Chain A
């Protein structure tokens, strides 16, 4: 069995929001709920980067620690799922989560929270695999079909990777090596290519 992880490569993400759209469509995510979002920091400035973020399926998930009804569980693939039949919509997982992954549909007056909804790694829920009940409550179960999450599968630049942690880290390691210094020092390759060579690089102002 694998240990499933997401990895978003900030050097590749182009903020196309394809992952967000793919997720919403694949899982029939209700109105007002986004299981995945793309956040751009330093927008329009040098060093702008985008990252696609959803539930990171933590090994020691803070949401599971604070849940008053203990509705979270981790599958043998390392995917953190929750049982919507147990969830009472208290919002504590949302306070505890570092990534803002838990989402709450507004069900009543004054913004009262419904049952929590979050990324399932396209892994469904506690119901029988690929059943109608599972589909209605949690969206698709691509893992049961032998597929990986659609957000990563759809990613046009392969910035967002999903799968076994070992495989992902292997892919990322190769990328880092291929990029060479640029990943360690963006400035060397781009903005101010002044390597600290004694006497200055030829043809460049010091």
Chain B
């Protein structure tokens, strides 16, 4: 670069600077008007404003980290334990909102609607009678071991269901009745029973599946049964040992039962280092499964007792009337592989044991 060129360049620079300065002097008084115009247009103003500091504030970064907004962030702490390095448990709010605003109200609505539907059906249609009445001939439907497995599962299911529902709804339903102190004792007992008997449900579920799975695979004809709603509103539908409705209950109970057991064990034994998030998720699955299973069980219980004449004896003493079998499980009856021997203690009865609904 020559000397002249440098000079020319300097000259040009000076000229342009003078021009800029002149322009600035002319325009400076206009700035307030410009600002006024910019503030009138909020969007333009925010675009025009430039943050002079481009380094992000470490304070904001700190709080973003501990609030776990972008990613799970854990610090270190001298306090030993699970999750102690987590400053903010962001999932806690999700869990709380699920329990308080979804599980509790919608669970109550679901169970209430099912109960109301059953009651409405019973009031309008009454118990489903055996066509032709009791024949007096008894057929063995459930063996002693099958009944034991059923009642072990059913008993545990209701023990856990009642204690669980007490913990879920007690604050709203029972505290007004018992008072804070009274309900605390009830709830404490319910918690201990729930936590002690809960693990046993695993063994009951395994026994239930092993015992009943062989007759619960869906076969041809189950579709017809379902499409006619099992003849609930009239008409006869053929069914094997278990009809499609019973099979659906079996599979729902199996699926939800194991979901309940697995999540229940995670919640019950908090000694394997599972963190809050795992337990919150487990509780969501546990609560949903429980409420749905309880609601569906209402239908099962109704049909096994008051809803259908002659069905309760099958789980009480194992025997059903031949006419009952003809009406509800004709294909199973035709298989003809059922022991029909009668034992002395129910020989004299005509419709199952004393006290059974007829």
Contact surface of A with B, Cβ cutoff 8 Å: 10, 17, 20, 34, 37-43, 47, 49, 51, 53, 62, 65-71, 83, 85-92, 94-100, 110-113, 181, 183-188, 192, 195-196
Q: Quick one: which of B75, B99, B100 contacts A43, CB cutoff 8 A? A: B75
Interface pair A98/B88, CB less than 8 Å apart: yes
Are B58 and A40 closer than 8 Å at their CB atoms? no
Q: Check if B62 sits within 8 Å of A47, measured CB to CB.
A: yes
What sequence of 0s and 1s flags, for each residue 103-122 of chain B, a beta carbon within 8 Å of any chain A beta carbon? 00000000000000000000
Contact A196 B52 (CB under 8 A): yes
CA–CA, A95 to B76, complex, Å?
A: 20
Write the chain A residue with the least CB distance to B50. Answer: A196
Size range of the chain B interface in the assembly: 35 or more
Chain B residues with CB under 8 Å of chain A are 52-55, 57-59, 61-62, 65-66, 73, 75-79, 81, 83-90, 92-93, 95-96, 99-100, 167-168, 170-171, 175, 180-181, 183-184, 187-188, 191, 195, 268-271, 276, 279-280, 283
Q: Which residue of A lies closest to B183 (CB)?
A: A69
* Contact flag A100-B269 (CB < 8 Å), given A41-B62, A41-B73: no
Instruction: Give the distance to chain B from A203, nearest Cβ to Cβ, in Å.
Output: 19
Which residues of chain B come closer than 8 Å to A97, judged between CB atoms? 89, 92
* Chain B residues with CB below 8 A from A86, complex form: 180-181, 184
Cα(A94)–Cα(B78), bound, Å: 20
In the assembled complex, the Cα of A18 lies from the Cα of B197 at a distance in Å of 44
Contact present for A95 and B53 (CB under 8 Å): no
User: B167–A90 contact, CB under 8 A?
Assistant: yes
- Shortest CB–CB separation between residue B309 and chain A, in angstroms? 41
Q: Which residues of B contact A111 (CB under 8 A)?
A: 269-271
- Which residue of A41, A70, A185, A195 contacts B75 across the interface (Cβ within 8 Å)? A41
Residues of B within 8 A of A196 (CB): 52-54
